[in-house]
Structure 1
Amino acid sequence: MRIVFFGFQTWGRRTLQALLDLGHDVPLVVTHPASTQSYKAIFSDSVEELARERGIPVHLTDRIDAETIDLVKRSEPEVNVVNSWYTKWPVELYDLPPHGTLNFHDSMLPKLTGFSPVLWSLISGESHTGLTVHRMDESLDTGDILVQRSMPIGPKDTGTDLVLRTMDLIPDVLREALEALETGNAVWRPQNKAERTYFHKRSEHDSLLDWTLPAEELERFVRALSDPYPSAFSFYRGERIEVLAAHVSEVRYGGTVGRVIVQEGGGAVVCGPNAHRGTNRALVITRVREADGTERPGSEVFARGGYLSHQP
């Protein structure tokens, strides 16, 4: 098929590579300029570099403008394919090709529309994540679904583990979606709006640990924010401390929320919600990164006891 590709970062590069491996004709690649912004700089393999290596014309832009639309029109695609794009599309562009525009989204839509869906799926306690190819429409991630692949979330999976495994689904899902269009066997499934959930863009504040949450939720939170993503953090004796590894305690502990009280299993125990009742398990912090970048065991850093808090 003749396909104009829009994409950015590693997600985009993996999708463009799959298009080329499948033998499709890609007359134009549209991508964003390289960025140092927090989440844009993560998994930042270059779409532009791959396109230029293959001799494909590249259009660099931060947003869809008249020049972009004109270039796509002149490329005469049968379908647009999109993976990892940061700005809104006008109907004039997404409905331009005969088959419209296929967008990749890293969740089992209609759940987890919006931003950073893989991280939010782990934080929010979902049992599965996955990959969806849907037809782009006027709203974010709401178009009819063409292909989906589900993937279980394991009890030890990190956010990075899940992101990488989701990327591994791209080639097969892309192949199935394009074969359905080529053969005329595409079956479009409308999304059930009543089941839709939406998650906002992540910011630095969203990595702050909330010690009033149950230990089980905090443990997932720490796993979700694994390197290279901004780590979970808190404040201890006036310094910012990043929590790199933790687990749920075996014993139930009582005391005050946020209090570091004892050692267990090679880490420091931090009291959580309803700590005064002594009925809940606590979070055991085993590895931290200090403000100077040094990584140390939690048992050493918190040896003096004290409190972890929301602010210095």
Structure 2
Amino acid sequence: MRVIFAGTPDFAARHLQALIDSADFDIVAVYTQPDRPAGRGQKLQPSAVKQLAQQHGLAIEQPPSLKTASAQQQLAQYQADVMVVVAYGLMLPQAVLDMPRYGCINVHGSLLPRWRGAAPIQRALWAGDSDTGVAIMTMELGLDSGPVLATARLAISPEDTSASLYDKLAELGPQALLDCLRQLPSKLKQAQPQDPSTVTYAHKLSKDEAQLDWQQPATVLERWVRAFNPWPICWFIANNGEVVKVWRSSAETSTSSASPGTILSADKHGIVIQTSAGALRLLELQPAGKKPLSAADFLNGRSDWLGVGSCLAAVAAAGAAHGR
């Protein structure tokens, strides 16, 4: 089977590696985003997919768009049976979708139709889903709306962050992709249309959204901390006006009648803050310009930032929509 692979980040590169390791597929070209400036020097850096393709001597294409006639003519010359798309980052016009013999298929990090869109891994954690997985679908012009060919499911653990869940799905997806491709003609005949009544959207994350809102229950805030780790990282404003990021936390019961945002205790075991239901214990924090610190190390020299009995500032736009 002649395969064009299109993808950009590490998640995509792991799927490309699986195709490379298999003897069943002929990878005729690899499409990836143009090199981007990165780091302090803002030097152009190739994507993870490009680096892997270079290591294996694969043909590489990096068009800024697939909407031009020249880009489409180049793609057509590869005479692909299928185009596999994983976190590519460019829209595929109808002409490209129709070009390969079996069309274009996409690996998406959710159990479609739940969490279509840009941040499905983080949104599953954020919402408190009990499980997630990958879905392989045929591509059409709509956003992640094509019929589903196959799914692979896994449970979300109480300790998962978006980083750990990303790694788990990056292990699960490649095998599901290989299994699907090996049975592609029959899978296409059995493709299941998505139920529009159960669609949810995984909107992009924002730094503003990651501000901890003490009017929320502690169990919700603890999920947010895990969902937004490693980006954009949950944060709050300390009593001295400094922004403090939170890398780890735990939710616990509280019998206090204090207002949400009140600091109930602050010691080496954590900084405990009252919420609308229960308390959130902050275990690992990061002051601006510093590395993440344990609660004990954070309080060393900064105890006045989080004085016991003081009340932290409320979110300015409490109740704003969080991606639903």
Q: Does 1:295 align with 2:296?
A: no
CA pair 259-102 structure 1, distance change in 2 beyond 3 A: same
Please report how far the alpha carbon of residue 34 of structure 1 lies from its aligned counterpart in structure 2 after TM superposition: 3.7
Partner residue in 1 for 2:8: 8
Structure 2 equivalent of residue 241 of structure 1? 244
Q: SS at the partner of 2:128?
A: coil
* Residues 1:119 and 2:122 are matched in the alignment: yes
Residues 184-225 of structure 1: CA deviation (Å, up to 9, x unaligned): 775211110100101211122122212211100100111122
Give 3-state SS (helix, strand or coil) of 2:263's partner. strand
Q: 2:30: which partner in 1?
A: 29
- Structure 1: distance between partners of 2:145 and 2:256: 44
Residue pair 1:3, 1:81 contacting (<8 A) in 2 also? yes
In the superposition, the TM-score normalised over structure 2's length comes to: 0.86
Residues 1:16 and 1:65: Cα distance change in structure 2 (over 3 Å): same
Structural mapping, 1:127-276, within 5 Å: 127-181=130-184, 186-227=189-230, 229-236=231-238, 237-263=240-266, 266-273=269-276
Q: Deviations over 1:36-64 (max 9, x none)?
A: 689xxxxx961111112222111113332
Query: What is the alpha-carbon distance in structure 1 between the residues aligned to residue 248 and residue 242 of structure 2?
Result: 18
Cα distance between partner residues in 2 of 1:152 and 1:8? 26
Distance 2:47 2:60 in 1: 16
Q: CA deviation at 1:261?
A: 2.3
Q: Structure 1 stretch 255-264 or stretch 233-242: which is displaced more?
A: 255-264
Q: Which runs of 5+ in 1 are unaligned?
A: 39-43, 274-279
**Structure 1 residues 252 and 159, CA gap change in structure 2 (3 angstroms):** farther
Counterpart residue type for residue 247 of structure 1: S
Q: Within 1, Cα distance between the matches of 2:293 and 2:61? A: 45
Structure-1 residue corresponding to 2:319: none
Deviation (angstroms), 1:141: 0.6
Question: C-alpha distance in 2, partners of 1:207/1:251?
Answer: 23
Which consecutive unaligned segments of at least 5 residues does structure 2 have?
A: 40-45, 317-324
How far apart are 1:250 and its partner, in Å? Answer: 3.6
Q: Is contact 1:111-1:196 (8 Å) kept?
A: yes
Deviates more, 1:64-73 or 1:3-12: 64-73
* Superposed displacement of residue 73, structure 1: 0.4
Aligned-pair CA distance for 1:267: 1.2
Q: Which amino acid aligns with 1:26?
A: I
Q: Report the CA distance shift for 1:241/1:99 in structure 2 as closer, same or farther (over 3 A).
A: same
Which region of structure 1 is more displaced relative to structure 2, 153-162 or 104-113?
153-162
Distance (Å, rounded) in 1 between the aligned partners of 2:17 and 2:83: 15
Q: Check 1:62–1:128 CA distance in 2 against 1; reply closer, same or farther (3 A cut).
A: farther
| 2-structure distance, mates of 1:292, 1:97 | 50
Q: CA RMSD in A?
A: 2.1
Go from structure 1 to structure 2 and tell me whether the alpha carbon gap of 1:158 and 1:195 turns closer, same or farther (over 3 Å shift): same
Query: Sequence identity of aligned pairs in percent?
Result: 27
Q: Aligned-pair distance for 1:100?
A: 0.6
> Shift of the alpha carbon at 1:155?
1.2
SS at match of 2:179: helix
How many residue pairs get aligned? The number is 299
**Aligned residue in 2 for 1:276:** none
In the aligned structure 2, how far is the partner of 1:37 from the partner of 1:208? 26
Question: Which stretch of structure 1 is more off in the superposition, 196-205 or 185-194?
Answer: 185-194
Q: Give distance in 2, aligned partners of 1:184 and 1:130.
A: 18
